[in-house]
Amino acid sequence: MDGILGRIVAIVLGLLALAGIAYAGYNGFQNHKASVVATNISQLITNARAGFSQGSNGYTNFTTANIPAMITGGMFPSDMVRGTTLLDPWGNAVTLSAASAGSQGVIRFGGGNAQTAKQCVSTAMGLKDYVSLAVGTTTFTQANLPDQATAGAVCSATATFTLTFQ
């Protein structure tokens, strides 16, 4: 009888250990997506500054309509490119535009109920070097950066990001 109980306990403990490993893997994957978003957007901003800010038009041509030409020119991280469109790691379309008479670039991404609130918070806190970052209806600036509480209060699976940079 003790041998049977011992085996049952060993099986249950083994299953609990496997569940813990699966949960840790899932959390790691979720955090990885937020990290990829922040890295891709940062790289996109760096490339856009190099490709547009010095010209006489500024960011005027930094538009969704010009994405195919910018793909040809190597503007975007390769894992964002799907044919002639841009997608974030959650599968949402990334759109581009100019603001302030072409002196600023605007990148919109996220939403679509594909991200988790936790990923939204990690992404908001991972993005840096912007003029403004709107998460849903709340706008953050360099004077008002998001922290765990402020990002957590506005983040959801449907929150969109609108990042404006110079």
CATH number for 44: 3.30.1690.10
Give me the pLDDT at residue 12, please: 62
Q: Are 90 and 161 in contact (CB under 8 A)?
A: no
Range name among 3-17, 30-44, 85-99, 122-136 with the lowest pLDDT average: 3-17
Q: Of 26-30, 71-75, 99-103, 161-165, which gets the smallest average pLDDT?
A: 26-30
- At 6 the pLDDT is 64
Note the pLDDT of residue 24: 43
What are the tens digits of pLDDT across the range 1-59? 667 766 676 576 565 555 545 444 444 444 578 899 999 999 999 999 999 977 889 99
| Chain mean position to CA 57 | 28
Q: What pLDDT, on a 0 to 100 scale, did the predictor assign at position 27? A: 45
pLDDT surpassing 90 at residue 164 = yes
Here the tokens at position 161 are 């990001």
Print the domain residue range for 123.
1-165
What's the mean pLDDT in 140-160?
96
**Residue 107 CB contacts under 8 Å (≥ 6 apart), including other chains:** 41, 44, 45, 94, 95, 96, 161, 162, 163, 165
Query: Can you state the angle between helices 2-52 and 117-126, rounded to 10 degrees?
Result: 40
Distance between CA atoms of residues 162 and 20, nearest Å: 36
Task: List the alpha helices (DSSP H) in 53-109.
Answer: 67-72
Give CA angle at 84 (80, 86), nearest 5°.
30
Contact criterion met (CB below 8 Å) for 164 and 41: no
Query: Is the pLDDT reported for residue 108 higher than 70?
Result: yes
How many domains, in total, are found in the chain?
1
Q: Is the dihedral of CA 79, 64, 104, 163 positive or negative?
A: negative
